Amino acid sequence: MCGWTDQSINTAVYSWERRQRGDTLPDSGPSSDFTIGTATGSFMGVTAVKTSSVSSAVLTSPVMKDSSPTCRIRLRYFLWDSGRTGLGSAPLWASILHHDSREAVVWRPEATSVRGWREATIYLGRIPTTFQIRLHSQRSVGTRGDVAVDQLEFLGCALPLPLPGEECPVGMMKCKNEGCVNLRQVCDGSDDCGDGSDEEHCAGFRRCDFEEGLCDWNLDSLSTLKWVRKNQEQISITDPLKGPGRDHSNNSITGHFLYVTVPDGGLTADWAAFQSPQLEPTNSSHPCKMVMYTHQFGPRSGGLTVLVADRNIYPVWERAGAIGDVWVKAEVEIVTDAVFQIVIMAAIRDFAYGGIAVDSIVLSPECRVTSVNQTWAKFPDPPKDPCTEPDKMCDFHVDCKDEGDEAKCGDFSYDDGSTGWTDTSIGSQQWMLDKNFTSKEEYLYVAEAPGQQLTDAQTRTPLLGPTGPACTMKFDYALTGNPSHIGELSVRVIDSQLGPTPKLWEFSGKTGTLEESWQHVDLSIGQRRNRIQLVFEARAKKLCPCAKIRVRNVHFVDCHADYFPFAPTALSCNFESDLCGWYQDNSDNYDWTVLHGMDHTIGVGRSLSVDMWSPSLRGVFARLMSFPQSPGPTDYCLSFFYKLYGPDTGVLNVKLLDKGGSETLLWTRSGAHGNTWHEAHCPVPHQLTNFQLMFEAVRSGFDGRLAIDDVTFVGRPCSVPRICSFEGQQCGYSSSGKINWLHRSGRTATNAGPKIDHTLETDRGFYMMVNTGVNILPVGQTGVLTSAVRQGIAKTECIHFWYHMGGENPGSLKLYMKPVKGERVEIFSDSLNQGDVWRRGSGNVSSTLVDWQFEFEAVGAGGKNTHIAVDDIFLSSHPCEDQGSPCSLERGMCSWSNTQNIKVDKLDWELTSQEAETHYSTPGEDHTLGTERGHFLFFPSTSRTAANQNAQLLSSHLPPTRGTCLKFWAYLPYSSNSELRVWRLAQNQLHQLLVVREVGPWRRFDVNITSFEEYQIVFEGIKGTSGFIALDDILYTVGVNCAKEITDVDKLPKPDDAGGIAASVIVVLLLIGTLIALLIYFLRTREEFSASSARPSSPYSAGAGFSNETYEPGPTDHVIIPLHRNHPMAAGFNNVSVSGDYREREVA
C-alpha cells in the first residue's frame, strides 16, 4: 500500500481496503483499477456501510516533510452511487495532518455520481514541518468500492536544489540554502526558497497576512454583503465544505484571511467589496504592483475583480467563476496619474456551498499611501440584467433581440465573441487576447503569468449548451518559431456534472517557423447532455518572442441540442464513409472506433469496434446512439453483423431509449463467438413516442474484440434469427395449449424452474419455461411453444438447443417441425428428469421449399413441482456433425461448448484461423487442412488477464462406458508456459485423464475413458504468461476404446446428432423411391391400368425427413430412436416471420 494505512475510527463499520475488481463485473465499485486497467490491478476502496449516523473511513499517508509551494498530488478517484442511496455531502475529501495534530482540508471534489475514474489534483502548498495526507470518506449508507482512489503521484514537491559553488542563471536569486528562485518570486508573500530567504529583504513592501488585523485595508462597502476576517477554525472544523480549509500564509486552520460567502440569513446582495487606503499616482516606469493570493471554491464563487478608483472606477484584473481548492497567486500592475484606491470585489452566487477568500496581499514600494483625501468617482452602473434565463445563455440558440445571449460565448463570429474566453491559469503561463480593432485581427495567445503552480495555461468558455450530436468546434492554431519544439496545445471538455473529461484533441511540436503557419481543425464535440465549458490548454517549452502559441477563428457549428443532420441512409450504415444516423455517446467511458481492414461488407473496409485488449480503455461502457426516431405504425427490425472474439470479450447489448431516457434491453450477447461475423436480427417493438436505439459495449472482460457492421433498420418485423438466447426478447415465439410457456429468469422463477439460464449461467439470464406440475398441467395435456414461420430451403440444416427438465416425472418434451400446410413431424423427444443441468439437443433438418414452424411441446405426466425449459436455440446452415467422425471445427464447434459459469472458469476457448487472426499468436496452419485458412480452437496467454486463470471446453453428456476413446490434436509451443488438462466430469466431480505441457507443433493424443456414470469430457486450458494452446480434429468413439475394441456390446452407442442415421435413412428412402418409380413405370406400361391410378397420393411423397436420437440415462443405459415419421421435411427453426427479401444467412 506504498506506506498508506487505514486509520478509520471503527474499521468494522467503515474503512478503506486494498482490493481488486473481482472475477466478474461488480454491481458496485470500479470495473477495473486505473493503473493497469484490468481485473488484476489493485486500488484502494471503501467497504460497505449501513449505519444510523454518518461513519468515517480514513486513509493516511506515511510521514513526509518540507514540501515546496508547488507541491501537489495527482490522483484518480471514483465516486459512484451504485445503490442509489445518495453520496452525501462529503463522500470524499483530503486533508493535511500537521505535526501539531491540527488538520486542514485541501481537496473536496464535487459529490456527483459517475461510474468511471476521474482525474484530480490536490494542491498541498508549502509545509515546512512534518505532515501526513489523509483521505476521508463520510457516509451512512453505501456499497463496497463506491468511493475509491488509485495512482497517486506527488509532483513538484521538492524545494530548489542547491547549486554549491555555482552562480544562479540570469533572472534568478540565490537562496541561503544555495538554491535558485526566479526574481518574480522574491517578496511575493510565499516561501519559495524553503528557508524564507526570498522574503527577507523586502523593505518598503506593504505586506498583510491578516494575522494581526486588517492592516490598512478597509472592509466598508456599499453592499449589504460584507467581507469578513476569519480563520478556518472560526468557520468550521467539522463540515469539510465550509470555508477555504486553510489560509495561504501559514497553510493551516489557524491562519487568517478575508472571506465572503452566502450569509446564514441568506443572500440579499450578490457582491461584496473591500479597498486599500488612498495611494499616490504612479507612472509606467514605476507602477504600483500588487500581489495577492485568492481561493475561489465551489458554485458560490461567481468571480473576483480588481478595480481602480481614481477619477473613474474601472476593472484592471478579473478571474471568473470557481478555480478549485487551491490558493492562486495573482499580480496586478496599476498605472494612473491620479490618487487612487484598489478595490477588490467578489461576486457570490446563491448555491449550496463555496465562497471566495483573499490572503497574503503584498503592495510594492511604488504603492505609496497618500494623506490626500479624494472622493470616489461615480460608482459604475451595474451590468445589465441578462435578457433571458441563465440556462438559455450560450445555448447556441438566439433568444434575445440583440443576440446578447450568444454574443460572448467564445465564438469569434460575434464582435465580442472572443471576450467569452476567460483565462483560468494558475501557473507560470496564461492565455491572453490580442484584439486589433484596426485590422480586426484577433487571436488568443500564451504569455508569461505570475502563478506558482507547474500547470498548463488554461482558458475557458462560459457554460455552453447542452449540445447536439453534430456539434463541431472549428479553429485555426499556430505553434511557430525558431526552436524545433514549440510546445503543446490541447482541447478538453469540462462537464458541469461529470467534471473534466479526457482530452479531445492535442498537438505537440510546431506548425512552422513563419508566424503565418496556421493549421485548421474541425473538432467534433458531439452530444453533451449537460452544460459544458470548452477549454484550450497549452504549455510553451520556452516563452520568448522567438516562440508563440496562438489560436484564432474559433467557431461553433451545428451545436444546438435539437439539431440532427440529415442522414441519407438513416440508421442503415456500412460505416465506410461515416456513422450515418449514429453518433458517439459522450456521457459514457470510451468510444467505438473505426477499424480499418476488417469489415463484413467488403472484407478490407471499415467496421466499428471496441478492442477490450486496448491498454488505454478505462471504465465500463461505450455507447453508439442513433438519431431520434419518430414513432411508426408497425414494429421495426434492426439487423446487423457482429463479432465477439477473444477469451475475455465482455458484452454487446442493443437497447431502446424512450423519450424519458428509460432503457430497455432488446438483445444481448457475451462470451466467445469465434473470429467470424454473425448475423443478428433484433425486433424493435412499435413505439408511441420518439425513441433512440443504442449499441452498448460493456467492458466486463479485458481480452477480446467487439465489432459491428452492415446495420439495417427497417419498418417491418424481423426475419427469423438463427440464434435465440431469450435475453431481452422472445424471438417471435408464441404459446398455445392448456398452459402457457413463460419468459423467465432464475430470479423470477418460482419453486419450479431452473435457477440459472444456459446463456449466461446466472439467475439474471432468461429462458422459456412451462410448469408441468399436475396441478397446472394435467396428465396428457400439452403446452406448445411455436416459432414464427420460416421459409423452407432445399438443404440440410442442424438445429441445436438446450433444455432443462426438473422434478420427478416432469413429463415429456417433444420438438416438431410443422409445415404451414400438412402434418407435423416429431424430430426430438425426451421424458426423464436428468438432474439440475442443461442438456444439449440437436438434429438434422432436411426440408423442401415449403414454409414451416417449430413446435416445442411439453406433455404433462402427473409430476409435482416439475418443469421443462428451453434456451439458446441455434439453427446452423450445415448438417450436424456425426459423433463418430472428427470435429474438424471447419463448420463450428460441433457439440463442444464453453461454460459461462464463473465458479468453473473465467475465460473462454476461441475459434479462429491463422488467416483471420490479427492480434494473437496462433499456429501457422490448422491440422485438418494444413493451411492458414483452416480453423482450430485456441486459448491464448496474455497480460490482460491473470496467470493461472482457466477456460473449460465441455462435450455433450455421454453414456456410461467400459471404454471410449478420445482422440485429438494439440499444439503447445515450446516457449509457452500454459498447460492443457483433460478431465472426465461426472456427478459434478472432475477426474483427471491427461496433462499436456510444451508439445510443440501439432501432435495427436489418444485417451481411454471409462465411467460407471454419465459424464462429460472437459478440455481445460490453464493460462500462463505467454504462448497459447490450440486444439483440432477432436473425436470420441463411444463404446470403442483406443485399441479399437468394442467395449460396450450391451449398448447401442449413438451420437447426439444423427448425421450417420440421416445418411442411411436417406439412402434407404432413395432406394425405395427408385423401386417405386420402376414399379410405377412397369404398371403404366400395362394396358389394364390407367395412368391416373399410378399417381402419388401426396405431392411430397418423394422426400423424407428423419429425427434425432438422444441418450437417456437409466438402469439399462440405452439409446432411444424415436419412430420415423414419413414426412417430406425434417425440422428447422424460426423465430419471427420472414420475407422473401430478407432471408437468414450465415457468414463464415
466-486: pLDDT as tens digits: 999 999 999 999 999 999 999
Is the pLDDT at 36 greater than 80? The verdict is yes
pLDDT band at residue 376 using 50, 70 and 90 as cut-offs: low
Is the pLDDT at 332 greater than 70? The verdict is yes
Q: What pairs with residue 708 in β-bridges?
A: 608, 642
Range name among 462-476, 505-519, 954-968, 1085-1099 with the lowest pLDDT average: 1085-1099
Is the pLDDT at 1056 greater than 70? The verdict is no
- In the chain, the percentage of residues whose pLDDT exceeds 70 is 90
Backbone Cα Rg of the chain:
38
**How much is the pLDDT for 383?**
66
Q: What's the pLDDT tens digit per position in 95-144?
A: 999 999 999 999 999 888 999 999 999 999 999 999 999 999 999 999 99
pLDDT, mean over the chain? 86
The one-letter amino acid code at 680 reads A
Cell of 415: 464582435
Cell 450568444, residue? 406
Cell 494612473, residue? 336
| CB-CB contact of 1079 with 927 (8 Å) | no
| CB-CB contact of 749 with 688 (8 Å) | no
**How much is the pLDDT for 501?**
87
Q: Per residue, what are the HEC states of 386-419? A: CCCCHHHCCCCCCCCCCCCCCCCCCCCCCCCHHH
Residue by residue, DSSP assigns 1018-1060 as: EEEEE--SS-EEEEEEEEEETTB-TT--B--TTS----SS-HH
pLDDT band at residue 1048 using 50, 70 and 90 as cut-offs: confident
Is the pLDDT at 551 greater than 60? The verdict is yes
Return all residues near 450 (Cβ < 8 A) that are at least 6 apart. 184, 188, 291, 329, 330, 331, 428
Answer with the residue of higher pLDDT: 1143 or 409. 409
Range name among 144-153, 503-512, 972-981 with the lowest pLDDT average: 972-981
Return all residues near 755 (Cβ < 8 A) that are at least 6 apart. 746, 749, 763, 836
User: Count of alpha carbons within 13 Å of 1101, Cβ hemisphere only?
Assistant: 11
| CB-CB contact of 693 with 654 (8 Å) | yes
- Cα(876)–Cα(891) distance, integer angstroms: 9
The average pLDDT across 148-160 equals 93
Is the pLDDT at 1042 greater than 70? The verdict is yes
Q: What's the pLDDT tens digit per position in 782-799?
A: 999 998 888 887 788 888
**How much is the pLDDT for 221?**
87
Cell of 178: 544555495
The average pLDDT across 989-1002 equals 92
- Cα(496)–Cα(502) distance, integer angstroms: 14
**How much is the pLDDT for 326?**
94
- Cα(79)–Cα(108) distance, integer angstroms: 12
pLDDT band at residue 161 using 50, 70 and 90 as cut-offs: confident
Q: What's the pLDDT tens digit per position in 1059-1112?
A: 334 333 433 343 444 445 444 444 444 433 333 333 333 333 333 222 333 333
Strand intervals (E) in 501-614: 505-509, 519-524, 532-540, 547-557, 582-584, 593-596, 606-611
**How much is the pLDDT for 728?**
75
pLDDT band at residue 1123 using 50, 70 and 90 as cut-offs: very low
3-state class of 861 per DSSP?
coil
Q: What's the pLDDT tens digit per position in 334-349?
A: 999 999 999 999 999 9
- In the chain, the percentage of residues whose pLDDT exceeds 90 is 56
The average pLDDT across 4-24 equals 90
Q: What is the largest CA-CA distance in the chain?
A: 145
The average pLDDT across 999-1019 equals 94
- Cα(696)–Cα(582) distance, integer angstroms: 12
Q: Identify the CA nearest to 411 among candidates 552, 524, 555.
A: 555
Q: Identify the CA nearest to 78 among candidates 7, 151, 5.
A: 151
Q: What share of the chain is helix, strand, coil (3-state, %, to 5)?
A: 5, 40, 55
Exposed, middle or buried: residue 123 (CB in 10 Å: 0-12, 13-18, 19+)? Answer: buried
Cell of 69: 509551494
- Cα(443)–Cα(553) distance, integer angstroms: 7
**How much is the pLDDT for 307?**
94
Return all residues near 606 (Cβ < 8 A) that are at least 6 apart. 574, 575, 576, 594, 595, 596, 599
Residue by residue, DSSP assigns 923-977 as: -SS-SSS-STT-EEEEEE--TTS-TT-EEEEE---B--EEEEEEEEEEEE-TT--
Q: Identify the CA nearest to 54 among candidates 94, 88, 105, 18.
A: 88
- Cα(511)–Cα(522) distance, integer angstroms: 16
- Cα(495)–Cα(395) distance, integer angstroms: 14
